[in-house]
Structure 1
């Protein structure tokens, strides 16, 4: 292929970004600066991964015998495990983001879509990120072993390698969505194991994990609608860039509408159990089809994250006895 000024400029920009170095830490709080750097790696993915997966783990644990071996869960006891569930999810997300954001093409993409991230903003270099990842892998595995969900972490490490280093995240949106759906099943299962503590995950939980993976695998492309400019620069084969913006929106709208009804049906809920998932789901359908600006797509993505959290809550719509017991004990 003949080199053009545009190609040379893009390659040069990637090399410049890849060779950026961490400036000297200023001020008296280097640990705070380091903590902020770690947070900036994960900030934009927190709503997509940590929030809904934490909701899944806590509310699945609260549903008791529907999904766990705990016939009579205690509300306060499970809520006290909330920080551990958040920590488990965030640590796994950190590994994924360190592996994902260190590649030159990812830095170029982030310089367009998310310039505040540590690498495009110059807070840290590619070499330092790689060293940080090498240290973080065994540390995170050790912490998650103590939290009680290390097997899921190992599978997530494998999926991270497939997605980032084997190019699964760029090899078409179908392959990408499958990898992400399997990853979400492990995020959700691990979060449930951490939330429920010593209690076992019941066989019924596997069916619910399969359903929730289906939700993710068929609607995850909603996050690509707001990132089209950066994805185009990286030559990533996301749904809106492969099949077109309009068609991609329908691939989100139709599954969202179906799952909004299918998940309450799975739990055989009463009419009231349909209200939240269906109403929020229909708002997403309306927005994704009719509101097509960058800001609108970003807000729709946030709404989608909230909708998945509501879907994950539906087991509690079926069995909310944990709250009844808490109120009874509180009054007595």
Structure 2
């Protein structure tokens, strides 16, 4: 008779390190994948919201503990704000991304379509719950509606595309303020003084994608009105933009050196963009020009720490 082999079940101690490793690897991988989806847009859709929420919290003289809570809450909220937009945008725009943005994760194969759909459903369900917990759920639902309008066909026409991006400032800055304080006239001043100029100036982002948009018959602002006219209009707009900042936002007066420094820095960004936008060089050059516009947006909101 053959000897009977005996096996013993692995002890819990042996399984525990493996289970812990899997428990750590899964969220780490999801965090990495989520970053891959949003990594081209955090200066437009993540950093500015967190910065403005913290500026409002400082203005409200919150305690260090509440300030830390605001920092954590705004980080989660605005990550989902951008993540939900990018997931649905990239699911709906794979044809365009193959031409304009081949570095995105769906095109590179870093994420599957099925996995991305699952992430989109989970993120879309989680976002209103976070908004409800923070008392800003109305803004959350408004942004979700704008996201779907943009990504499910609206972005093919310049008016819808630019309106969603421009007035998407409202469901960003509104909850950033409302997380710590009721909306006031000052809050609406900041929101509208940024949303309206951004609506008129956001066609800057389309200059970098002209070739792909032409191939896909997307009616962006430069296609509707001509690249030459668009560049000239944007140049004038960015030359004048510091006046909007001065009279409606930063309002530096007297010997307020910090406020004047903020005005000087943001004006320098605007005038550099105005200089660059009239030069048609390459999509990469236009992309860097648009990146300066994102830096301007973040810098203006950072100035709220000293000008609110």
Q: CA separation of 1:318/1:136 partners in 2, compared to 1, >3 Å: closer, same or farther?
A: closer
d(CA) in 2 for partners of 1:226, 1:35:
28
| Cα gap change, 1:317 to 1:238, in 2 (>3 Å) | same
Q: Which of 241, 253, 270 is equivalent to 1:270?
A: 253
Q: Tell whether the 8 Å contact from 1:61 to 1:73 is kept in structure 2 after alignment.
A: yes
Q: Could you give the per-residue CA deviations for residues 31-75 of structure 1, whole angstroms, max 9, x where no partner exists?
A: 43333222211111112211223233322443x3xxxxx3x4557
Aligned residue in 2 for 1:4: none
Per the normalisation by structure 2, the TM-score is: 0.81
Paired residue for 1:58? Answer: 54
- Counterparts of 1:1-332 in structure 2, within 5 Å, are 29-62=25-58, 64=59, 70=60, 72-73=61-62, 77-78=66-67, 81-103=70-92, 106-165=93-152, 167-171=153-157, 173-194=158-179, 196=180, 199-267=181-249, 268-270=251-253, 272=260, 274-290=263-279, 292-319=281-308
Tell me by how many angstroms 1:155 deviates: 0.6
CA distance 1:236–1:94, change in 2 (3 Å): same
Consecutive unaligned residues of structure 1, counting only runs of 5 or more, are: 1-26, 65-69, 320-332
State which structure, 1 or 2, has the greater radius of gyration over its C-alpha atoms: 2
Bigger shift: residues 228-237 or 91-100: 228-237
Question: Greater RCO between the two (CA within 8 Å, min separation 6)?
Answer: 1
Post-superposition CA distance 1:201-233 (Å, at most 9, x none): 223311221111112211112222222233233
Q: Is the 8 A contact 1:249 1:288 kept in 2?
A: yes
- Secondary structure (helix, strand or coil) at the match of 1:284 reads helix
Residue-by-residue CA offset, 1:80-129 (whole Å, 9 max, x unaligned) = 622322221110111111111112xx112112222232211223333432
Residues of 2 paired with 1:177 and 1:309: CA distance?
A: 19
- Rounded to whole Å, the distance in 2 between the matches of 1:122 and 1:202 is 46
**Is the CA contact 1:284–1:300 (under 8 Å) kept in the aligned structure 2?**
yes
Relative to structure 1, the CA distance from residue 299 to residue 204 in structure 2 (aligned partners, 3 Å threshold; closer, same or farther) is: same
Superposition RMSD in Å: 2.5
SS at structure 2 position matched to 1:304: helix
Please give the per-residue CA displacement for 1:176-196, whole angstroms capped at 9, x wherever unaligned: 2112222221111112223x2
- Number of aligned positions between the proteins: 279
How far apart in 2 are the matches of 1:293 and 1:210?
33
For residues 267-288 of structure 1, what are the alpha-carbon distances to aligned partners after superposition, in whole Å with 9 as ceiling and x for unaligned?
Answer: 4322725322222211111111
Deviation of 1:318 (Å): 3.3
Q: 1:250 to 1:59 in 2, by over 3 A?
A: farther
* Separation of aligned partners in 2, 1:255 and 1:58: 29
Q: Distance in 2 between matches of 1:312 and 1:35?
A: 26
Q: 1:277 to 1:120 in 2, by over 3 A?
A: same
TM-score after normalising by structure 1: 0.75
Structure 1 residues 279, 232: closer, same or farther in 2, change over 3 A? Answer: same
